[in-house]
A and B are shown apart, each in its own frame.
Chain A
Amino acid sequence: MTLLDGLPVIHMSTSSTSSTSSVVKAKIHDSSRQPPPFLEEIQELWRLRELVVLWAERNIKLRYKRSVLGILWTLLEPLILMIILSVVFSQLFRFRVENYSIYLLSGLLLFDFLSRSTLQIVEEIVVSQGLASRIYVPRTVFAVATILSYLVSWVIALVPLLIIMLILGHPITVTMLTVPAGMLLTSLFALGVGLLVATLGASFHDIKLTYQVLLTAWLYATPIIYPLDIVPEQFRHWFYLNPLLYFCSTVRDPIFLGKTAAAEAWLLALACSLGTLLVGWWVFTSRRRTFDYLS
């Protein structure tokens, strides 16, 4: 073996590590000793956490790079949509909701976040295929980065909502401090949903289209545009099966009603988000090998 070692220091004592100093901390990858995909993916994601943040930054930059108004779009888009829907629904259908625009916007921003981020995850997983077939990157990096970047947009879009609240003289209470917790739970839920849809969407192009249609149905099945009160009593129990109801409650109640969501809503939101994320993570990571062979 001394024959084989050409150049550097040959010390028998340091046999467990290689000769150069940087190799002392060297990571060893052994495919036969890897943890199950579910856990390995978490490890790898943590190792590349800086990449997640950079990738989220990149997404935000790219989203507005070629638009004149740039980040202003994040503010304008929900406002315009809100004005249209406010006029249509409060004037035509005449719900008896005071400050309807605040009710609408607080729920709509949540739904907007959910639909955009999940659709984008499906897109990212397909697009990142080119990259992931060249450099080893755990694909959840792209999913988590997508959620992060849309979460930032959501936070920014809360600014016009606050302004409207001030203009309308709607009470701003301390309970609004619980809104970030609701947004966090919604994000975990969105990540789970995104991973589930992306797993299917990676192999079949029409999954994304199907999901888009389902999203529209989901919007109308959730009391976002209308209040739950207008749903006839006998149908209402069906609405309680919709997890989105609880996420809406955690975010909208402090804003619109000035009180924190009920404990049951919090618990159900927590259960739904963690449950969906675990299932999504598991399905996505266990199907990881099939992504490798897609290209």
Chain B
Amino acid sequence: MTTSVEPTPTPPEPSHAVESAIELTEISVRFEIPTERILSFKEYVLRRITSRIERQVLWALRDVDVNVRSGEVLGIIGRNGAGKSTLLKVVSRVLQPTAGRVVIRGDLAPLLELGAGFHFDLTGRENVYLNAALLGHLRKDVDERLDLAVEFSGLHNFFDVPIRNYSTGMLARLGFAVATMFRPDILLIDEILAVGDAAFQEKCLHRIEEFRSRGTTILLVSHQYGEIAQHCDRALWLDQGRVAAIGDTQDVLDRYTAALSADQI
């Protein structure tokens, strides 16, 4: 009794029990910016022969280690150029890091810029199908959810009109509707809640909150501290590509704002 039953209930690897949705290990991203832009091949060849092409090296991210648990909402703060958007690009696989390991568990949907894949000569409906396909969804699944998207965007009468006739607000509504038509396992939000009127923002936040309650992991980049404080379980402060602080939301926010005001004096 003592020997045979014991091993089963105790989990042998505790790290495995709480799986993180996102694991970033020693992520570095280096940009090499040519000091002069060389656009023609001829120029490139000449430069190659005559002299070295000068490049300015910029580390957008440096040795970043972040683990995001499944279902967690992580707020990302930092000054402009601190690497917030680059971090999201690494997570969404748009940018392959120069070094480091990325592990992503689950479907991921970026809400980076609304309507990034839209074409203005196509109708709202056509754009919805295209955008959903870009996110890897199948046509038959989109068929099922289309009413939801129409409903959420409130574009009933304009759904079959080329979107070049849409207003900015309508575009934002369509973009958000497409991006949140399916509940992703991981949602990336980059400053998008700044568009649209208050009612629309409220609606978006409501949708995000709904996702969250159903277990979606969320990375939220925002300059509105209130938003971060209200929605995030933890906060990450990036400074010049490095992790300045990560942990309790209010604590990180306080330290960040303290650093900001110290800088300004």
Which A residues fall within an 8 A CB radius of B?
A: 1, 4-8, 12, 15-16, 18-20, 22-23, 26-32, 47-48, 50-51, 54-55, 58, 61-62, 65-66, 130-137, 200, 203-207, 210, 288-289, 292-293
A58 touches B122 (CB 8 A): yes
Binds A, one of B130-138, B147-155, B197-205, B220-228: B130-138
Chain A residue nearest in CB terms to B38: A204
Known interface pairs A6-B71, A204-B39, A204-B41; A18-B105 also in contact (CB < 8 Å): yes
Q: How far is the CB of A68 from chain B (nearest CB, A)?
A: 15
Within 8 Å of chain A (Cβ to Cβ): is B32?
Answer: yes
Query: Within the assembled complex, what's the spacing in Å between the Cα atoms of A6 and B183?
Result: 20
Chain A residue nearest in CB terms to B212: A7
Chain A residue nearest in CB terms to B138: A50
Query: Within the assembled complex, what's the spacing in Å between the Cα atoms of A133 and B93?
Result: 9
Known interface pairs A47-B136, A206-B42; A29-B104 also in contact (CB < 8 Å): yes
B interface, size bucket? 35 or more
Cβ contacts under 8 Å, A132 to chain B: 94
B103 touches A135 (CB 8 A): no
B101 touches A30 (CB 8 A): yes
Cβ contacts under 8 Å, B14 to chain A: 1
Query: Within the assembled complex, what's the spacing in Å between the Cα atoms of A16 and B105?
Result: 11
Within 8 Å of chain A (Cβ to Cβ): is B250?
Answer: no
A48 touches B136 (CB 8 A): yes
Query: Within the assembled complex, what's the spacing in Å between the Cα atoms of A131 and B250?
Result: 35
> Which of these, B97, B126, B138, contacts A58 with CB under 8 Å?
B126
Within 8 Å of chain A (Cβ to Cβ): is B106?
Answer: yes
Chain B residue nearest in CB terms to A292: B95
B133 touches A293 (CB 8 A): no
Query: Within the assembled complex, what's the spacing in Å between the Cα atoms of A61 and B121?
Result: 9
What are 28 contact pairs spanning A and B, CB under 8 A? A1-B14, A7-B213, A7-B215, A8-B215, A15-B16, A18-B185, A18-B215, A22-B185, A27-B106, A29-B93, A29-B103, A29-B104, A30-B102, A30-B103, A30-B104, A31-B96, A31-B101, A66-B121, A131-B134, A133-B94, A133-B95, A134-B113, A135-B135, A137-B134, A200-B41, A205-B39, A206-B39, A206-B42
- 1-44 of chain B: CB within 8 A of chain A: 9, 11, 14, 16-19, 21, 31-32, 39-42, 44
